[in-house]
Structure 1
């Protein structure tokens, strides 16, 4: 995922227009309205629908989704497409851990089916949200052929665009709603590419998308920015000493991804040794287990006395201080037969559901940098909100700030605090081309998991056009 100047000049555009104009859609309804969910007491206090959309007829690729209708004014409120990271992390994470109206009750969990509760600080308070399992092989999305599981960044974008076309054909009342593409973590590589394709489809043949902008939280964007920012982040957060930082910086000349000499490699080893037991998803949390590892990395940290992949379903005694225990509850819940029946999961399609299926996907990373896509989209006038939890090492805000600066946009509203409930909730800066950057104070990877109320306030203000 290295960035190169050529990537800026040759921003890769997907050949979709002819395909979408010339291929009629076979619209087969696979929708299920849901009033009750196993583990939730009583009827759901919001409208939930699940379903499948076929996004590749030849290979038999089916994307599974959860759709939650706005709890305010669904006819007029924006429509969000939410993409979870990974690649390979289920959109159930978005629904129950990030921006959705449900959560798992870890503190009162004993064994058996986990309990769900209603979260009032959901983004569905002000918007309709489609949580989609993408790419294929994620969550409950599947393929009827083996070749259908071979996918990539650009193929995911193609299939997500097909998904949107078909979903809106089945839900025509939402075609006029303001459309926003949003997500977190690795979806930062997908969101701007997809937004640009939607914009092109609108311009070329009037595609039925009322696109208004996009959001990306703790977004993976470009290795040279994301990875090279970790050493400065460690130092700024007092995780490494001044001396080690200076030695590493001088030996590596700012390039920490590919050590150019033996001294650089030695100091990077020293940094890794010092920080190896820090939770990279949220530096204030105990390190219990992986938190959405990056491509090619598989972390297997102990939970108590057991390893993550050895914890049986319906386990008792999960450590309540570990966020990973909360993630395990989603595995227990989604692999329950009653739950699958309630969700309308097609039998025999997914044997074992995993919250994140990262290291098992046959996935090609063929978008080298998302930076040129951000430049192209914002130059077309589409507003963007980029936000970062400021305690996240996986995608440090330092790197996010750096790639935004590389766009050379002028500053419209300079660095200042933004507030929620009368308290400083983070810091923000607004640029020309309608690009807003914000940190979320005290949040990790990803921000809404840790600061839901503050992130909802941030969203509401940005949607209204009010400065944070």
Structure 2
């Protein structure tokens, strides 16, 4: 609601953009808040005066948190399939955990602890990227996860796991935390005006429970598809956090008719950039070799993806 109010006021402040097509994009938790914002715009456009109408056309979300059951199932399957966890750990999770229910047993929590222990030594957000060897408190904190239980809101009770950095420089989070805690930087940004007693961090240990979100965004996606909103879902295939396996399970659960199945798409260098599945009302795209934040790892392919989304054109299925 706050984001919607901001947009309405922004267009009033900059009316020269009022007639432009409007799109939204995001990744990770954006699998929730982008469709939710899209739904708010979609619904309100039917009832607001012309002065508040937003010319909304579509959105794209990447490695997106969309459905608790399939996201959790998919990340465990991905870890086993990519030789991250042992057969024993995988089998124990399958026996002890039921991701279709919000209720968590102690046995499941213990089984998942063994799963997360492996990600203490590799980067969950980019399976084949190096980890940060910095001795900073930020890096040290990332090496000490403390599992408090499985929750429908994935990782909200898995302390610090959403802090791990991704990207070609695995210490990026260290740099930004140092920079954004500088008093002169905070003053320039008009941040921390209340002088809180703890430092800024990417994800807070103080406010660390996300408990007010729906377990699935699939009803919202179905509604927006039926309303003619353009939707693209993309997935970097080396991300272990919301991996391609999870997204595929989620889209299968969505149940849209497949128009064109598993088709390669090509980059400007005549290489396979990934694969696509065209569903009725939705396009799914994988990006080869990209981690959780696709543009960080594959900027050229990400730009190609965005351009084709905005133009409403399929990615090239043959070398060009």
Contact 1:283 1:392 in 2 (8 A): yes
- Separation of aligned partners in 1, 2:104 and 2:191: 48
**TM-score scaled by length of structure 1:** 0.55
Partner of 1:328: 174
User: How far is 1:246 from its partner?
Assistant: 5.1
1:212 alignment counterpart: 57
Residue from 239, 258, 262 that aligns with 1:411: 258
> Does residue 121 of structure 2 align to residue 277 of structure 1?
yes
In the alignment, the residues of structure 2 paired with residue 281 and residue 355 of structure 1 have an alpha-carbon distance, to the nearest angstrom, of 18
Measured against aligned partners, the alpha-carbon deviations of 1:364-406 in whole angstroms (never above 9, x if no partner) come to 4232321111111111000111111111111112111111111
CA contact (8 A) 1:295 1:358 kept: no
**Contact conserved, 1:222 with 1:368, CA < 8 A, in 2?**
yes
- Corresponding position of 2:212: 365
Distance 1:442 1:245, change over 3 A: same
**1:160 positional shift:** 0.6
Alpha carbons of structure 1 residues 358 and 260: separation in structure 2 relative to 1, 3 Å? closer
Larger Rg: 1
CA distance in 2, matches of 1:294, 1:250: 20
Cα distance in 1 for residues equivalent to 2:293 and 2:156: 17
Cα-Cα RMSD:
3.3
Is 1:226 equivalent to 2:71 in the alignment? yes
Q: SS of the counterpart of 1:399?
A: helix
Of 158, 167, 188, the residue aligned with 1:297 is 158
TM-score by length of structure 2 reads 0.78
Q: Number of residue pairs matched? A: 290
* Higher share in helix: 2
1:166 maps to which of 9, 14, 19:
9
Q: 1:239 to 1:258 in 2, by over 3 A?
A: farther
State the partner residue of 1:155: none
Distance in 2 separating the partners of 1:339 and 1:432: 47
Q: 5+ residue gaps in structure 2?
A: 133-138, 144-153, 316-320
Residues in 2 aligned to 1:375 and 1:218: alpha-carbon distance in whole angstroms: 19
Please tell me whether residue 348 in structure 1 is matched to residue 193 in structure 2.
Answer: yes
Report the Cα distance in structure 2 between the residues aligned to 1:353 and 1:265, rounded to whole angstroms.
Answer: 30
Q: Shift of the alpha carbon at 1:287?
A: 3.5
Displacement of 1:180 after TM fit?
Answer: 0.9
Deviation at 1:265, TM superposition (A): 6.7
* SS of residue matched to 1:392: coil
Question: Are 1:295 and 1:359, in contact at CA under 8 Å, matched by a contact in 2?
Answer: no
> Structure 2 CA distance, aligned partners of 1:420 and 1:186?
27
| Structure 1 unaligned residues grouped into runs of 5+ | 1-157, 309-319
* Deviation string, structure 1 residues 78-130 (Cα, Å, up to 9, x no partner): xxxxxxxxxxxxxxxxxxxxxxxxxxxxxxxxxxxxxxxxxxxxxxxxxxxxx
C-alpha distance in 2 between matches for 1:253 and 1:380: 33
Deviation at 1:342, TM superposition (A): 5.2
* Structure having the larger proportion of residues in strand: 1
After superposition, the Cα gap between the structure-2 partners of 1:281 and 1:411, relative to the gap in structure 1 and judged at 3 Å, is same
Contact 1:429/1:436, CA 8 A, preserved across alignment = yes
* 2:275 aligned with 1:427: yes
